[in-house]
Chain A
C-alpha cells in the first residue's frame, strides 16, 4: 500500500507570536516550530494503516529549510521516506500554490491514500487538502474522525452538527484528519536514530514544474487589539451592584 502523509511545520501553540513591524508577516526567528497537530493525526493514521496492511509511508512537506525537522520527526515516528519541497519562490505560497506543489510531487508517486490535516493551526485556511484532491482528480474525505480500510476502498466517519456521516469511497483518495481520529505516537529513540538514514528528496519549484502563482495575497498581518481593562462594579449590596451591572451591559457594552 502506498501511503502519503502531507505535513506542515507551524509555530508551537505555546509560542509567543510577534507581528513584524511592517505587517508583512510574523517574526519567525525565535519561535519554536512543531508539526501541525492535525497533520500528526494524519501521520499516525498512515502509520497504523501501514502496520496493518504493509506498504510504505512517504512524507511530503512544503516549507523552508527548517521544515526538514518536521519531516524527520515524521520519519522518527515510523514513516519511510520524505519529499521536501523547498524553494524561496514558495515562501509566500497560498493554499493553492501549496496544494499545486504537493500535487506535482505526489503525481509522480504511486499513491493509494493521501493524508492531510484538516487545516493548519497557523493560517487556519483549511483548503489545501481539498485543493490537492481536486488537482489530482481524486475523491476527498474531509474532517475524518474514523477510518476503516477495506482492500480497495475506505469507509470513514465525518461528524456534522448533531449527527455523523458515514462515507465510503474507492482509492485513491485524500483524507483530511480531524482531532479524535487517533492518538499520535511519540517518536521513539530508535526511531530518531533511524530517521537520519531515511531518504528525503529535496525538490524546488522548477523541478516540479510549478510557479508561485498565488491566488490570495496577504495584505497585512496585524495583532489583535489589546484587551481593554476590565471594570469592577462597586456597590453597597447585591441589588445595587446588579442594577449597575445591568446599566453597564445596556448602556456601555450595549449587550442587552
Chain B
C-alpha cells in the first residue's frame, strides 16, 4: 500500500538510479550529504505530507476555505497548526544556504519533498512556496541590510511573502503596469496602485507579509523597461526589527475561485491613504529582470503543481481500479456464470492508466532533472559544465510549466473517468483535483506566454546551443536503447519524433525572418508540447534502459529466465516496478511519439486560417 499521493519508490528511482544524485555528494558543496541522509529527509517529508497536510486538503476546500470577513483575510484555520509545524521542522527553505538559515540541501532532493507536499495539499504549499521565492529574490538582489531585515525572517517562516505583478489592466502584459513609486527624501519610495490575483496577499498565518511589488518610478519610461521592484511590508519595520504601524497595504477582497480555495487570492491596494512606503530592491528600472528570478522559480513550482496533481490523481485511480468491481472480462462476456471483475481488468482502463503512468513518471524524471541541473549550476567543476546545466534549466523551465500543467489537467480528468460517476462527486478527491489543478495552466504566465518564451527566446538562446545539447543527450539515449533488445524496435519512434522536431525547429528560423513569422507565434503551444513529448520520451527510454539492466540482474539472482521472470511481477515488487518502466517506454513510443511527425507536419503546412479569417466569422 502506498501513500495514495506519490510513488516514493519512483521518487527514489529517479533520484538514485536515473539521475544518480550520489554524484553530487562527491562535490565540495554537497559533501555533507549522503544517501541515508537523503532517505531520511524524504521519509520525513512523506510523513509530514501524509499526516499533517493531507488531512487538511479536503477541509480547506469545503468547510474551511480562505475567507474575507470584516475587512480581514483569514487562511483556513486547519492550516494554522500544519504551518507552524512546517516552519519548525525547517521545510520553508531546505535548499537555502546554511548561512541564511537553510540546510543547503540539493534542489533535486527538495523537489522530491515539494512533490509530496504539493500532492498532499497544494493550496497549503502556496503560502510557504511564495515566501521562499520572495525571500530568495531578496537574498540574491537585496542589500546586506535588506537580507538581514527581511529575508532571514522569511526563510524561518516567521514572516511570509508574495509576488505582486498582476494588475486589473496588466496581466500577461506586465509592462502595462500602472502602480507608481515616488522617491521620498529619506530614500524610500511612496507606493500607489492596485495589484490583483495576489496569492497569499493577506492572511493570518503570519503577522507580517512582505510584498515584492513591481511599480514604475514617476517619470520612468513606459513598458517593462521602466519598471522597478520594491520591498513593501504589510507593517513597517522598526530599526530594531520589530513591527511598527500598518503600511497602508489593504486587502479589499479575496477571489471566489474554482479551486485551490485554501489559498487566499487577494486584491491589494497600496497607498490608498498615501502612507505606503517601500524600499527599492536592486537598481531602478531593473524590476523585471530581478523579478524573473522569482518567476523562473515559480514557473518550476507551477510545473511541479501539474506533476503533483497528476501523481495524486493517478495513484488514486490505480487504487480505485483495483477495487471497483464492474462488468465481466471481455472474454467472458457471453458467459452468464462469469463473475464481474475489478475494472483494472478492462482494456480501456488499462490503456488510460498506462497513459497516465507514463506521463506522470516522465514528468517526474524531467522535473527532478531540471532541479538536478540547478544543483549542477552550484557545484559544476568547470564553467562549461555550469553553462550547459544552466542552458538546460533555461530551456526546460517553460516546458516544465506548460507541459506538466496541460498534461496535469488531462491526467486529473482521465483519473476522474476511471472513477466514473463517483469521480464527479465530492465523496472522492478526484473532482477537487480537477478543480485545483486547472489554475496551473493559467497563472505564473499562461501556457501561451510560456510557449512564446520557449519558441521566441529559449529555442534560439545561446545560439541554439542549449537545444542542440538537449538533442545530443536524447541521441545518446536513442543509441543505447537501440542496443537493448527489449527496446530497440521502440527506440525508432523516439528517433523519428526527434528528427521531425529538429526539422521543424530548423524551419522556425526561416519563418521568423519572413512574412510567415505568424506561424511560430500562432503555433507556439503545439510546438512546446511537441518538444515536451520528445523530452518525456527521452526520460522514459532512459529509465527503461536502466530498468532492463536491473531486471536482468534480478532474474540472474533469482535464477530465472526472462519468460519466468515476467511472471514474477505478481509477488516481487521490484520486478513489477522495473517491468512498469519498460511498459512506459513501449507504450509512449507506440502511442504518443508517432503522432509527433503528424503534428510537425500540421505546423509545416503553414495554414494561417485562424489569423486570416474574419473576426465576425468566429460567431455570428
Checking B36, B52, B90, B573 against A189 with a beta-carbon cut-off of 8 angstroms, the contacting residue is B90
Mask for A43-83, Cβ within 8 A of B = 1, else 0?
Answer: 00000000000000000000000000100110010000000
Known: A30-B574, A193-B32, A193-B103. A187 touches B40 (CB 8 A): yes
Establish whether residues A189 and B41, one from each chain, have CB atoms under 8 Å apart when the complex forms: yes
Known: A16-B1, A192-B41. A69 touches B85 (CB 8 A): no
Establish whether residues A189 and B91, one from each chain, have CB atoms under 8 Å apart when the complex forms: yes
Q: CA separation between A232 and B506, bound complex, in Å?
A: 67
Q: CA separation between A187 and B90, bound complex, in Å?
A: 10
Establish whether residues B1 and A189, one from each chain, have CB atoms under 8 Å apart when the complex forms: no
Establish whether residues A186 and B89, one from each chain, have CB atoms under 8 Å apart when the complex forms: yes
B391 at the binding interface (Cβ < 8 Å): no
Which residues in chain B, 33-79, are within 8 Å of chain A measured between CB atoms? Answer: 34, 36-37, 39-41, 43-44, 47-48, 52
Q: CA separation between A188 and B91, bound complex, in Å?
A: 8
Checking A30, A72, A190 against B36 with a beta-carbon cut-off of 8 angstroms, the contacting residue is A72
The distance from the CB of B224 to the nearest CB of chain A, in whole angstroms, is 38
Which A residue's beta carbon lies closest to that of B92? A189
The distance from the CB of A33 to the nearest CB of chain B, in whole angstroms, is 10
Mask for A72-110, Cβ within 8 A of B = 1, else 0?
Answer: 110010000000000000000000000000000000000
Q: CA separation between A186 and B89, bound complex, in Å?
A: 7
- 16 more A-B residue pairs beyond the given contacts A186-B44, A188-B88, with a C-beta to C-beta distance below 8 A: A30-B573, A30-B574, A69-B36, A72-B36, A72-B40, A186-B52, A186-B85, A186-B88, A187-B89, A189-B41, A189-B44, A189-B89, A189-B91, A189-B105, A190-B90, A192-B44
Q: CA separation between A69 and B186, bound complex, in Å?
A: 56
Checking A15, A16, A18, A73 against B40 with a beta-carbon cut-off of 8 angstroms, the contacting residue is A73
Chain A residues whose C-beta falls within 8 Å of the C-beta of B34 in the assembled complex: 196
Known: A189-B89, A189-B94. A76 touches B1 (CB 8 A): no
Checking B3, B37, B43, B88 against A196 with a beta-carbon cut-off of 8 angstroms, the contacting residue is B37
Q: CA separation between A76 and B94, bound complex, in Å?
A: 15
Which residues in chain A, 207-245, are within 8 Å of chain B measured between CB atoms? Answer: none
The distance from the CB of A12 to the nearest CB of chain B, in whole angstroms, is 9
The 4 closest A-B pairs by CB, nearest first: A189-B90, A188-B89, A14-B1, A30-B573
Which residues in chain A, 1-35, are within 8 Å of chain B measured between CB atoms? Answer: 14-16, 18, 30
The distance from the CB of B576 to the nearest CB of chain A, in whole angstroms, is 10
Establish whether residues A76 and B32, one from each chain, have CB atoms under 8 Å apart when the complex forms: no
Establish whether residues A76 and B573, one from each chain, have CB atoms under 8 Å apart when the complex forms: no
A113 at the binding interface (Cβ < 8 Å): no
Which residues in chain B, 86-108, are within 8 Å of chain A measured between CB atoms? Answer: 88-91, 94, 103, 105
Which B residues form the contact surface with A (CB < 8 A)?
Answer: 1, 3, 32, 34, 36-37, 39-41, 43-44, 47-48, 52, 85, 88-91, 94, 103, 105, 571-574
Which A residue's beta carbon lies closest to that of B8? A32
Chain B residues whose C-beta falls within 8 Å of the C-beta of A76 in the assembled complex: 40, 44
A147 at the binding interface (Cβ < 8 Å): no
Q: CA separation between A213 and B52, bound complex, in Å?
A: 43
Chain A residues whose C-beta falls within 8 Å of the C-beta of B574 in the assembled complex: 30
Q: CA separation between A53 and B88, bound complex, in Å?
A: 22
Which B residue's beta carbon lies closest to that of A189? B90
Establish whether residues B44 and A187, one from each chain, have CB atoms under 8 Å apart when the complex forms: yes
Establish whether residues A15 and B1, one from each chain, have CB atoms under 8 Å apart when the complex forms: yes
Q: CA separation between A123 and B579, bound complex, in Å?
A: 34
Q: CA separation between A187 and B51, bound complex, in Å?
A: 13
A195 at the binding interface (Cβ < 8 Å): yes
Q: CA separation between A196 and B36, bound complex, in Å?
A: 9
The distance from the CB of A15 to the nearest CB of chain B, in whole angstroms, is 7
Which residues in chain A, 178-209, are within 8 Å of chain B measured between CB atoms? Answer: 186-190, 192-193, 195-196
Q: CA separation between A190 and B156, bound complex, in Å?
A: 12
Q: CA separation between A188 and B574, bound complex, in Å?
A: 31
The distance from the CB of B591 to the nearest CB of chain A, in whole angstroms, is 31
Known: A186-B85, A193-B103. A69 touches B44 (CB 8 A): no
Checking B40, B52, B85 against A192 with a beta-carbon cut-off of 8 angstroms, the contacting residue is B40
Which A residue's beta carbon lies closest to that of B40? A192
Checking B39, B41, B52, B91 against A69 with a beta-carbon cut-off of 8 angstroms, the contacting residue is B39
Q: Which of A14, A18, A73, A187 has the most CB of B within 10 A?
A: A187
Q: CA separation between A165 and B523, bound complex, in Å?
A: 75
Q: Which of A186, A187, A189 has the most CB of B within 10 A?
A: A189
The distance from the CB of A193 to the nearest CB of chain B, in whole angstroms, is 6
Q: CA separation between A74 and B573, bound complex, in Å?
A: 29
Which A residue's beta carbon lies closest to that of B576? A30
The distance from the CB of B49 to the nearest CB of chain A, in whole angstroms, is 11
Q: CA separation between A30 and B568, bound complex, in Å?
A: 14
The distance from the CB of A148 to the nearest CB of chain B, in whole angstroms, is 25
The distance from the CB of B216 to the nearest CB of chain A, in whole angstroms, is 40
Known: A15-B1, A16-B1, A193-B32. A188 touches B37 (CB 8 A): no
Q: List 15 A-B contacts (CB under 8 A).
A: A14-B1, A14-B3, A69-B36, A69-B39, A73-B40, A187-B44, A188-B88, A188-B90, A189-B44, A189-B90, A190-B90, A192-B44, A193-B32, A193-B37, A193-B103
Which B residue's beta carbon lies closest to that of A31? B573
The distance from the CB of B557 to the nearest CB of chain A, in whole angstroms, is 12
Establish whether residues A192 and B37, one from each chain, have CB atoms under 8 Å apart when the complex forms: yes
Q: CA separation between A18 and B572, bound complex, in Å?
A: 11
Q: CA separation between A76 and B43, bound complex, in Å?
A: 12
The distance from the CB of B74 to the nearest CB of chain A, in whole angstroms, is 25
Chain B residues whose C-beta falls within 8 Å of the C-beta of A14 in the assembled complex: 1, 3
The distance from the CB of B318 to the nearest CB of chain A, in whole angstroms, is 15
Chain B residues whose C-beta falls within 8 Å of the C-beta of A73 in the assembled complex: 40, 43
Chain A residues whose C-beta falls within 8 Å of the C-beta of B3 in the assembled complex: 14
Q: CA separation between A190 and B85, bound complex, in Å?
A: 14
Chain A residues whose C-beta falls within 8 Å of the C-beta of B40 in the assembled complex: 69, 72-73, 76, 187, 192, 195
Chain B residues whose C-beta falls within 8 Å of the C-beta of A69 in the assembled complex: 36, 39-40
Q: CA separation between A187 and B41, bound complex, in Å?
A: 9
Known: A69-B36, A76-B40. A190 touches B1 (CB 8 A): no
Q: CA separation between A187 and B48, bound complex, in Å?
A: 9
The distance from the CB of A18 to the nearest CB of chain B, in whole angstroms, is 8
Q: CA separation between A72 and B3, bound complex, in Å?
A: 23
Q: Which of A15, A72, A186 has the most CB of B within 10 A?
A: A186
The distance from the CB of A200 to the nearest CB of chain B, in whole angstroms, is 12
Q: CA separation between A195 and B103, bound complex, in Å?
A: 13
Chain B residues whose C-beta falls within 8 Å of the C-beta of A187 in the assembled complex: 40, 44, 89
Q: Which of B34, B43, B103, B573 has the most CB of A within 10 A?
A: B43
The distance from the CB of A149 to the nearest CB of chain B, in whole angstroms, is 24
Chain B residues whose C-beta falls within 8 Å of the C-beta of A190 in the assembled complex: 90, 103
Q: CA separation between A30 and B3, bound complex, in Å?
A: 15
Establish whether residues A186 and B47, one from each chain, have CB atoms under 8 Å apart when the complex forms: yes
The distance from the CB of B29 to the nearest CB of chain A, in whole angstroms, is 14
Q: CA separation between A69 and B105, bound complex, in Å?
A: 19
Chain A residues whose C-beta falls within 8 Å of the C-beta of B48 in the assembled complex: 186
Q: CA separation between A188 and B90, bound complex, in Å?
A: 6
Q: CA separation between A189 and B47, bound complex, in Å?
A: 13
Q: CA separation between A196 and B48, bound complex, in Å?
A: 20
Chain B residues whose C-beta falls within 8 Å of the C-beta of A189 in the assembled complex: 41, 44, 89-91, 94, 103, 105
Chain B residues whose C-beta falls within 8 Å of the C-beta of A186 in the assembled complex: 44, 47-48, 52, 85, 88-89
Which residues in chain A, 147-192, are within 8 Å of chain B measured between CB atoms? Answer: 186-190, 192
Chain A residues whose C-beta falls within 8 Å of the C-beta of B52 in the assembled complex: 186
Q: CA separation between A186 and B84, bound complex, in Å?
A: 12
Chain B residues whose C-beta falls within 8 Å of the C-beta of A18 in the assembled complex: 571
The distance from the CB of B450 to the nearest CB of chain A, in whole angstroms, is 32
Q: CA separation between A190 and B103, bound complex, in Å?
A: 7
Q: CA separation between A15 and B572, bound complex, in Å?
A: 14
Which A residue's beta carbon lies closest to that of B110? A189
The distance from the CB of B25 to the nearest CB of chain A, in whole angstroms, is 12
